């Protein structure tokens, strides 16, 4: 695993515990389903702070929105990580999305920089 912080700093006004939970869920999915090197990058893109998680696996089996929206049926307490991450992002003015990647999956949590409108 590699953590690669972006240049500078930006402030996000969000529920810190829930943002940590969302980020942990995306990282856990990369470790469990992706494999290979998992990279966590942070950067500011326009008026958003982005946390990108890239893995060395086969990539996503479906669109992020579809994966996050799948019912939990038969999976017990597992299988809700992306849905939780998407919900946390939405409740804090952000979003969960997939980004193009030359290898594996690249999933991003985005949150508005403090002082901007979501």
pLDDT tens for each residue of 18-29: 999 999 999 999
pTM for this structure?
A: 0.85
User: 105 vs 60, which has greater pLDDT?
Assistant: 105
pLDDT of residue 50 exceeding 70, the answer is: yes
> Strand, coil or helix: what is 77?
coil
Is residue 104 within 8 Å of 37, Cβ to Cβ?
A: no
Is residue 20 within 8 Å of 12, Cβ to Cβ?
A: no
Give the whole-angstrom CA distance, residue 111 versus residue 32: 25
pLDDT band at 78 (very low <50, low <70, confident <90, very high): low
Q: How confident is the model at residue 30, as a pLDDT?
A: 93
96 DSSP 8-state letter: E
Q: How confident is the model at residue 75, as a pLDDT?
A: 52
Give the rounded percent of residues in the chain with a pLDDT score beyond 70: 90
Q: How confident is the model at residue 24, as a pLDDT?
A: 95
pLDDT of residue 102 exceeding 90, the answer is: no
Q: How confident is the model at residue 48, as a pLDDT?
A: 94
- DSSP E strand boundaries for the chain: 2-4, 39-45, 48-54, 95-98, 106-112
């Amino acid at each position: 695993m590699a953590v690669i912080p972006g240049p500078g700093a930006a402030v996000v006004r969000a529920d810190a515990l829930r943002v940590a939970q969302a980020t942990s869920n995306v990282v856990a999915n990369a470790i469990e389903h992706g494999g290979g090197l998992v990279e966590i990058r942070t950067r500011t893109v326009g008026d958003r702070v982005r946390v990108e998680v890239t893995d060395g696996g086969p990539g996503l089996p479906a669109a992020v929105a579809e994966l996050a929206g799948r019912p939990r049926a038969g999976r017990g307490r597992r299988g809700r990580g992306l849905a939780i991450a998407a919900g946390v992002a939405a409740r804090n003015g952000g979003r969960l999305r997939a980004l193009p990647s030359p290898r594996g999956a690249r999933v991003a949590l985005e949150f508005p920089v403090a002082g901007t409108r979501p």
